[in-house]
C-alpha cells in the first residue's frame, strides 16, 4: 500500500522545445510553437515524479483527469520547466497543481488528478487482446 503522501510533495520536469514538440510537427500549416499536448505531457511527468517516491512494490500513479490552460506560446529552442505540487487527496484521487514556465514567463497552469494502481492487478484486468 502506498505510503502517506504529504500535501506539498513536489517535483519538476523540463525539456527544450524541439521540432517534434511543435504544432508544425502535427500539421505543416500550424506555427512552430510548443504544442499543448506536449506541455501537458511534461506536466504529467512532473506530477508522476512528485508522487512516485511514495509508491511501493509495483505501484505507480496514473492520470485520471486534466484541467489545464495553455496561456502563452514558446518556440523551438526554448527551455520549458513544469512543476507539480500535491494539493489534496480525497481518499482515492490525488489533485496536483501544475505550472509550466519558459525562460520568460508562465505558459500554462492547472491541475492533474492521479490515482495509485498496482501494475500487476491493473494488467490482469485488461482484455487479453489489449496487452
d(CA 36, CA 121): 32
From the list 16, 18, 26, 36, the catalytic residue is 36
Is 44 known to be catalytic? yes
From the list 21, 22, 44, 99, the catalytic residue is 44
CA terminus-to-terminus distance, the chain: 24
Non-local CB neighbours of 6 within 8 Å, separated by 6+ positions: 86
d(CA 21, CA 75): 10
Q: What residue has cell string 483527469?
A: 65
CA angle 30, 13, 34 (to 5 degrees): 10
3-state secondary structure (DSSP) of residue 121:
helix
From the list 21, 22, 61, 70, the catalytic residue is 70
Is 26 known to be catalytic? no
Please list the active-site residues: 36, 44, 70
Amino acid at each position: 500500500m502506498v505510503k502517506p503522501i504529504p500535501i506539498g510533495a513536489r517535483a519538476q520536469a523540463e525539456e527544450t522545445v524541439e521540432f517534434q514538440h511543435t504544432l508544425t510537427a502535427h500539421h505543416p500549416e500550424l506555427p512552430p510553437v510548443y504544442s499543448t499536448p506536449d506541455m501537458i505531457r511534461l506536466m504529467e511527468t512532473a506530477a508522476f515524479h512528485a508522487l512516485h517516491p511514495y509508491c511501493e512494490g509495483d505501484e505507480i500513479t496514473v492520470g485520471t483527469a486534466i484541467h489545464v490552460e495553455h496561456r502563452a506560446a514558446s518556440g523551438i529552442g526554448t527551455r520549458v520547466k513544469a512543476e507539480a505540487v500535491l494539493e489534496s487527496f480525497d481518499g482515492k484521487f490525488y489533485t496536483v497543481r501544475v505550472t509550466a514556465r519558459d525562460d520568460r514567463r508562465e505558459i500554462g497552469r492547472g491541475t492533474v488528478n492521479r490515482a495509485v494502481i498496482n501494475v500487476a492487478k491493473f494488467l490482469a484486468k485488461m482484455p487479453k487482446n489489449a496487452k
